[in-house]
Amino acid sequence: MRRKSLTQFLVEQQREHESLPGQLRLLLEVVARACKRIGYTVNQAGTDGLLGDEGAINVQGEAQKRLDVMANEMLLEANEWGGHLAAMASEEMDTIHPVPNRYPMGEYLMMFDPIDGSSNVDVALSVGTIFSVVEAPADISGRTPTEADFLMPGRRQVAAGYALYGPQTLLVLSVGTGVYEFSLDRTMGAWELTGENLRIPKGKREFAINMSNRRHWSEPVRSYIDDCMAGKDGPLGHDYGMRWTGSMVADIHRILKRGGVFMYPWDSRNPNAAGKLRLLYEANPMGFLIEQAGGLAYEENHTILDIQPQALHQRVGVTMGDRDEVERILGYFEA
């Protein structure tokens, strides 16, 4: 039986849900095509000489990989001319990228992390692309977009998703009506629907965290992880498993399909920073997907999607996944 294509799915969503206007549908199709191109580039990185560092440092103070730069350019080029966007912001750029004057200005703003977990490419592990879309302010058509236009809480997102480049190339997407998974049929070059209304499985005793940072965590986080590690003889009464890939996309995808929680909490190495992950490019879009799949996304005791951003590259601590397990973790902060 022929599977439903991404285009067919989006057209049906447009007809059935007022939350998917025509311009947003066309924008998501452009993003999906760009992700196909990025996925192919990732797969060919070794033979095309694209592994390793670019030799530059991004605004985050991190060494850029060649693929970071290429994927960033692919997303900019694919999206700037279609008339769907007013501006874009990327983890890899110092400031925003307004749509050039020679192209029509659209009604949306997009934020993205072009290659999440890019260090994994050099060792042939999974990486991904994360994106988030919000409606532009109503007055933007008469002026030049600014960074302040992007500083909206995650609740304002109208679409979010990620592409996963691994053993399969997947696109996971939500327009506010649930979470849907599409697989890339390489023979046809088409995205096909392979998962509908994804819900985080409950009760999976598994966490994803970088254990090498344990000594830097706050006491509530340390206590929770120590109790997990104590297993069935400890206070939680269950044996927990741990997974960590170094790619948020890969870890969140596993949680959507298998359950558990993902944590990248604040740590004391940079006490003045709220966390490691970026609110606009990583935490908000992933929090949107997690909530749409029945889970919770928090920064300690604050719901991530309700945080009012103060800066384009703002960082936050992240705990998200199975609702019951996240609530259990929140109890450690309240104790």
* Known binding residues: 91, 113, 115-119, 210, 276, 282
Provide the β-strand partners of residue 243.
Answer: 208
pLDDT by position in tens, the chain (length 335): 678 999 999 999 998 866 689 999 999 999 999 999 999 998 887 776 666 665 566 666 666 778 899 999 999 999 999 999 999 999 999 999 999 999 999 999 999 999 998 888 788 789 999 999 999 999 998 899 999 999 999 999 999 999 999 989 999 999 999 999 999 998 888 999 999 999 999 999 999 999 999 999 999 999 999 999 999 999 999 999 999 999 999 999 999 999 999 999 999 988 888 899 999 999 999 999 999 999 999 998 899 999 999 999 999 999 999 999 999 999 999 98
What pLDDT, on the 0 to 100 scale, is given for residue 321?
98
| C-alpha to C-alpha distance for 54 and 60, rounded to whole angstroms | 15
**CA angle 301-304-305, nearest 5°?**
135
The three-state secondary structure class of 192 is strand
* Known binding residues for substrate: 116-119, 210, 276
Could you tell me if 65 and 53 are in contact, meaning their C-beta atoms sit under 8 angstroms apart?
yes
What pLDDT, on the 0 to 100 scale, is given for residue 224?
98
Q: Which domains does the chain have, with CATH numbers?
A: 6-195 (3.30.540.10), 206-334 (3.40.190.80)
Six-digit token pair at 317? 């601590």
Enter the pTM of the model. Answer: 0.95
Could you tell me if 277 and 248 are in contact, meaning their C-beta atoms sit under 8 angstroms apart?
yes
What pLDDT, on the 0 to 100 scale, is given for residue 124?
75
* Known binding residues for Mg(2+): 91, 113, 115-116, 282
